[in-house]
Structure formats: C-alpha cells, structure tokens
Structure 1
C-alpha cells in the first residue's frame, strides 16, 4: 500500500479497486488553489472502508473504497473558502464532508 513518487505510482491495490483519489468535483477547485500558490494535502484518518452513500456502492460504477482523510487547505485567497463551500453544497458527497481551512 505504498506509493512510489519517483515512478508516479498511485495507491490502488486494495481489492483491485482504486483508492486515494480526490472527488472529481473537488479536483478543479484544488488545482486552482495550487495554481495560485496554495497547498492541498490529505491526512489519512482511518482504514479504507467499502464505499457507502453518498458515494456509489462498492459494486456500482464509480464505487470502491473510501479512504477517510482530512484535506488540509492553505490558500492565499479568501474567496477559495466560498468556492469550495459552494461545490460541497452541490455534490452528493458534500453532505459527508466538512470544510476547515487554514
């Protein structure tokens, strides 16, 4: 379950299902923050578990595992908090996420 940063290998060896991905709807927000000089990282807070609502179930397309984590977002732009909050309010998995920004 290790990643190999040099070869750009991702963690994807739990029951042959990919894990370790940022939700697709949040990825553009995170990219914009990083492009502006901010930082986004994740701290794993628990063991991987089979996906559950609001995510697709494990046997459904897009389902698999959920890796519980806290995203740590440091941004020079105060508007980013509102942008991410708006995104979370409009995606199903947003109901299971909490936003804390530093």
Structure 2
C-alpha cells in the first residue's frame, strides 16, 4: 500500500504524505466543510482501505483519478439540524452526492 500512487502528475505516494492530511473532498463540499474544520467541529474517520477511484470520482469530464479513501465525517454543531439540512441540499446538487449517505444521529 505504501507504493500506491495518489497523484500521478506529482508522483506522490502514500509514504510521501504519511502523517499529513491527504486527499480532498469534492470542491462543492469544501466551502461547507472549511468553517467546520477551522472550528474543530468535523473529523473524518477512515472506514476502509483505499480503493481505485470510481464514478463519480473523477467526474467523466475531469482528468485524473487516483484513490478514494472511504470515511465517515462526524460533525458536531450547536444547530446540527440546520447543518444537516444545508448539507442534504448540497449533496443533492452535486454528482458526488449520489455516492454519499447522510445520517443524523
């Protein structure tokens, strides 16, 4: 697994980024996640081994690929229902949203 290439253009491998945040969320979710990350209200828990990318990653019109790291995002917020509703609408508006499950606990 350490030799798995995660970025073909830069030839990054898992071992090159050990100990640092890797990967990204879909661009359309980044704006939603950023304030949560900055306030420490979101964490990602890895739920499986990296797998080769599959639709909708990358989108058919996009170049690239790589790996998908399955994970659960856990959000804590004083108004969690409003955040849930906002994220639910956002997921409906992006192709990647079809591959994600949203659960309110």
Give the TM-score taking structure 2 as reference length.
0.69
CA offsets 1:29-83 (integer angstroms, 9 cap, x no match): 1123346x461111111111111011127xx514211001111111112311111
Would you say 1:14 and 2:14 are equivalent positions? Answer: no
Please give the alpha-carbon distance, in whole angstroms, between the structure 2 residues aligned to 1:51 and 1:68: 11
- Over aligned residue pairs, what C-alpha RMSD do you find? 2.6
Equivalent residue pairs, number: 89
Aligned partner (choices 86, 97, 102) of residue 100 of structure 2: 97
Unaligned runs of 5+ in 1: 2-12
After superposition, the Cα gap between the structure-2 partners of 1:22 and 1:16, relative to the gap in structure 1 and judged at 3 Å, is closer
Aligned equivalent of 2:78: 76
Greater helix proportion:
2
After superposition, the Cα gap between the structure-2 partners of 1:31 and 1:81, relative to the gap in structure 1 and judged at 3 Å, is same
Displacement of 1:101 in angstroms is 3.9
